[in-house]
Amino acid sequence: MRRRQLLGTLGTAVAGGVAGCGESAQSTPGAFRVSSPALESGGKLPARFTCDGAGRSPPFVLDRVPEPTAGLAVIAEYDRGIINEPVFWTLWNVPPETERIPAGLPRTGTVESLGGARQGRPEGGEVGYEPPCPPTGQPYEHRFQVYALGETVDVAGGTDHDTAGEAIGDAVLASARFTVDYERTPAPA
């Protein structure tokens, strides 16, 4: 619960100086910018990033990373109500000079192709991006929060999402958020 309150506060506090996809016209010149060739904030989450598709993690393009960023991070969660906002991906310690986080990261605690970045896991689940799989017929909001961190996060890859999220929250310089909806359709009879 503490993590959700902290991350919600951080997202609100830094949103004014950050640009996400589709927000560049309103962004502060020179502010941290994140876009995605696959996601449009306010749009729909493509099925290929869910359990109905390949279940791959989405790509992000990073621009104007603020100084003195020591690392970058991503936390993804979906909204199941005020109390229940399950995290389905944590990624941290991406090198600050990274210009692109590619789609389809391997489900490993350490991602060597991203300079040794680390990924977390849900309680009792597998490490890495857990593709969203909401119940059919109900739209769910999914949030991808990308962070510029003032220090690297000293948490081992494969740790649980809550522990990783709290450590990430303690190091935030700036952030950008993508909010997308996804609704699974019932299978044809």
Q: Which domains does the chain have, with CATH numbers?
A: 2-180 (3.90.280.10)
Whole-number pLDDT of residue 165: 96
Whole-number pLDDT of residue 131: 95
Please give the C-alpha separations between residue 124 and each of 106, 127, 185, 189, in angstroms, as whole numbers.
18, 10, 28, 34
Cis before residue 59, ω within 30 degrees of 0? no
Q: Where are the beta strands (DSSP E) in the chain?
A: 33-35, 60-63, 71-78, 87-94, 100-101, 110-111, 117-119, 140-149, 172-182
Count the neighbouring beta carbons within 10 Å of the beta carbon of residue 184: 18
Whole-number pLDDT of residue 108: 98
State pTM to two decimals: 0.84
- Separation of alpha carbons 33 and 64, rounded Å: 6
Whole-number pLDDT of residue 31: 85
Q: What is the mean pLDDT of each run of 10 residues along the chain (189 residues)?
A: 43 37 44 92 95 96 95 92 78 97 98 98 92 88 96 97 96 94 82
| β-sheet bridge partners, residue 143 | 77, 179
